Structure 1
Amino acid sequence: MELEDIAILACYISPNIPLEQYKREVDDIMDAVTEVDKKMVIAGDINAASPLWGSPRANVKGEHWADWIASKNLSVQNKGDMPTFVRRGSATFIDVTLTTRGITNKVKNWEVQTEESLSHHRIITFVIIQNKIMSTSHLRGKAEIDHETFQQVLSIFENKITNHTEMTQAIKRAQSAATFNVRPQRRDQPYWWNEDIGKARSRCNAARRALSRSRRISQVAEARVLDMEREHRERRKEYKKLMNESKRSEWNKLCEEIDQDIFGQGYKIVTRAIRHINTPYNLTQTEKEKIVRELFPEHEDTVFPSYPDYRI
């Protein structure tokens, strides 16, 4: 996926393939990194172990990755303080985020989230800071300073400062230009969300946190850990069941409503999603027309046969 001057490469390599095939797939990924002339984030489930991203020991696959990381001058964003894959009694570090040199310092707040993901893989989040000049008068909560931008702006005033007051003003302007709000935007809940699902998610997260704590405490009896694992599975099953039931029910309601009112809730959901799409592509009119023709091909008018009218 390409976004302006940044490319994001998502990858997965199966742990069940032969080692030589695994190495070839890693080589193909690195070839792609070379071919794309953009700053790049490489993120994925690579099923390899290395202390570079938190594993206690390296395996052959991890050493192959480490060789490529060194040769390509890549940086590992993983902090290595929390496993990314947890299943029963095992916890591993197999989900890795790499960056090329041009974007390494722009990736902030890389975190393994603790909320329930309905998967053995945990959710990983991070923020990419762009060099954009912006006012900070509206910012609330946590913010970050882009030091490169700060220095660039401050250098503009460097030869114009004659006293401490002008120095203070120059620092304030540089700070204002280089400060970015990194608080994630609040997402609207999907149309099928309800209070029961929210409570089930809270119970599921609480059970998962309790299980994680018990695994870290050696004094907790094994039987108690097994009980907590069972509790977590049940809570996750309940959470998933409520979501699936609500999705199915609300989808059927939307379909029925569209037959009655095409500008109802279904129309609002679609237009709301389209409104937030910010495409990174600058298409020519010819390219747009080609896409329309591919998606909506022209057909000859269908002529339906006529039948005698048997009505009395």
Structure 2
Amino acid sequence: MLHSVDSLEDGPRACILTMGLEAFFLRDKASRDLVPILVRSPTRDGVREVVVASAYFPGDRSCPPQEISDLVSYCEEANLPLLIGCDSNAHHVLWGSAATNRRGGDLVKFMASAGLQVANRGVEPTFFTTGRSSVIDLTLCTRALLPEITGWCVCGEDSMSDHRYITFGLEMGVREPIRFRNPRATNWELYREELAWRLGGLPRKHRTMEEIDEAADRVSSAMMRAFEISCPETEEHRAGRTPWWSSSLERLRRKVRRLFNTARSSSQGADWDLYREVRRQYSTATE
């Protein structure tokens, strides 16, 4: 299904094509330049929801446009992870540009306040035209999604456009659990008991190399088996948020974003000074 917003005056500049997905068009958040959908996928624990958006950032408007800020606010309030594929029309060394322009600087400031990460990998240009190339097509996501984006790359296939295809995967369906042993959770008293029992009767003296090798194998096997018994396997549970993240950092991050929006709207020096001061506090708190 093709999701887009068309009007009598202007055609769409963003769209999303879905096939075989349970997806819902967030029409009240959409515009000619922004198409967000809510994707639902079954997991081991129920159903997972992720907002995926296609966006165009016009070069003659603020970067990012207000619609993006509104979408980020919506996802924060609904506690939904967000993934954005966008033509940013912005340059910054953070994503591989040769230089940073004002739009790129504005976008990075917004990303810092909104908790968005750049999922781009490498510095392969995403845009080509006669005599120049650049990296302006970005994949942005909230912090929890970043480790679940796999295989991100600029595709060499001809896209029939100045912009090149970008491909990647997003792990959001049913996943096989990762089983592991955590040495910190070892029951060391049980380990010593098991090891002593398994090494009972082991000769203290060895006369030949064969006897030494046999004893070493027995000790190694006993230690491994004792560890397996005293430290059972457990399943990895992927948390939806970074372990060190806290409610106070979340409040501070939202305050930074609110002050950024205020300063951008007012263009007053005092508002920018307040924003920079709170951003500095946020930066220090997350180091």
TM-score class normalised by the smaller sequence:
0.3 to 0.5
Greater helix percent: which structure? 1
Greater strand percent: which structure? 2
Q: TM-score, with normalisation over the residues of structure 2?
A: 0.46
Q: TM-score, with normalisation over the residues of structure 1?
A: 0.43
